[in-house]
Amino acid sequence: MIKLLSTTAVAMLTLGLAPNAFAQDGMVGEDAQPFSGLYVAASGGYDIQGNDVGSRLQFDRNGDGTFADQVSTAAGADAFSPGFCNGRALASTPGAGCANDRDRASYYGRVGFDIQRGNFVFGALGEFGKTEIKDYVTGFSTTPAFYTMERSVKWEASVRARAGVAFGEGANAGMFYATGGAGYANVEHRFTTSNGANAFADNGNDKKWGYIVGGGVEKFITRNISVGAEYTYHDYKDGDYRVAVTRGNAPATNPFVLAPNTAGTTIRRSDDSFRWHSLRGTVGFHF
């Protein structure tokens, strides 16, 4: 998919540099400002997350709101000494490995309005869609047991500006552009563990503000229809997810509730930003 989108981007660049090479009878219009006006578009592609090496779980053992505590056994040893991974646990011990974060497809729809003045184009767009990516982090305890936090995107919306430089005329017109603005996403959280003794409660999903920046190339193939390739970077602060661990059916010597702090332990993930890169193809209809 990534190779296909890269090839598409190169092809669109070629179209932009040689717009007249693909002209056909009936496709060249007289409109000197083809990008001016309302348009709707659909886009789809592939989303990739950055490498979050070093991501881990953090613990508030004494309820003071800071997450720099060690979860200790009755003998004073680190209960999470087996370590952490920036992925999804495949079994209760780290030796079994972890699955990588899931990079997957995305699909969006947008509506926008542009104004063209000479070779310069500026406008705004609204977009709504979904990405199928998932971001994991796992801790392993000496029990042995795994504790995995997962986040994904139920939906994402954005309002962005767009500014570009146009080339060509009419049905041969194209544009290189930059885009950026505010994003708003419904981030879903999920916690899984192989620990069946303690009780666990989380604070659920959350809607987050962030930002989106990027750029692309767009080319008319008829007077009203355009195709393009686009890259965007998405960044959301997501540091509020918590999992509260209480005793459940575990003995009083359980590390999460060991005296003198018997109320339990709160867990969070160390990486408080949800970030990804998106490569997409676009198809638009201009009114």
> pLDDT exceeding 90 applies to what percent of the chain?
84
Give the lowest-confidence range in 18-27, 140-149, 190-199, 224-233. Answer: 18-27
Q: What is the pLDDT of residues 189-202, one digit of tens each?
A: 999 999 999 999 99
CB 202 within 8 A of CB 242: yes
Give me the pLDDT at residue 157, please: 98
Neighbours of 6 (CB within 10 A): 12
- At residue 31 the predicted structure's pLDDT band, cuts being 50, 70 and 90, is low
CB 126 within 8 A of CB 159: yes
Q: Does residue 145 carry a pLDDT above 90?
A: yes
CATH number assigned to the domain comprising residue 18 = 2.40.160.20
- At residue 170 the predicted structure's pLDDT band, cuts being 50, 70 and 90, is confident
What is the three-state SS of the chain? Answer: CHHHHHHHHHHHHHHHHCHHHHCCCCCCCCCCCCCCEEEEEEEEEEEECCCCCCCCEEEECCCCCCCCCCCECCCCCECCCCEEECCEECCCCHHHCEECCECCEEEEEEEEEEEEECCEEEEEEEEEEEECCEEEEEEEECCCEEEEEEEEEEEEEEEEEEEEEEECCHHHCEEEEEEEEEEEEEEEEEEEECCCCCEEEECCCEEEEEEEEEEEEEEECCCCEEEEEEEEEEEEECCCCCEEEECCCCCCCCHHHCCCCCCCEEEEECCCEEEEEEEEEEEEEEC
Give the lowest-confidence range in 16-30, 132-146, 249-263, 272-286. Answer: 16-30
Sole residue written with tokens 């952490």: 84
Which residue range(s) make up the domain with 94?
Answer: 2-286
User: What is the distance between the alpha carbons of residues 69 and 169, in angstroms, rounded to a whole number?
Assistant: 64
Q: Calculate ∠ Cα 162-164-167, nearest 5°.
A: 145
129 vs 12, 67, 94, 183, 185, CA distance in Å? Answer: 24, 34, 36, 11, 10
Q: What is the pLDDT of residues 6-17, one digit of tens each?
A: 444 444 444 444
Amino acid at 87: G
Q: Does residue 22 carry a pLDDT above 50?
A: no
**Total tally of structural domains belonging to the chain:** 1
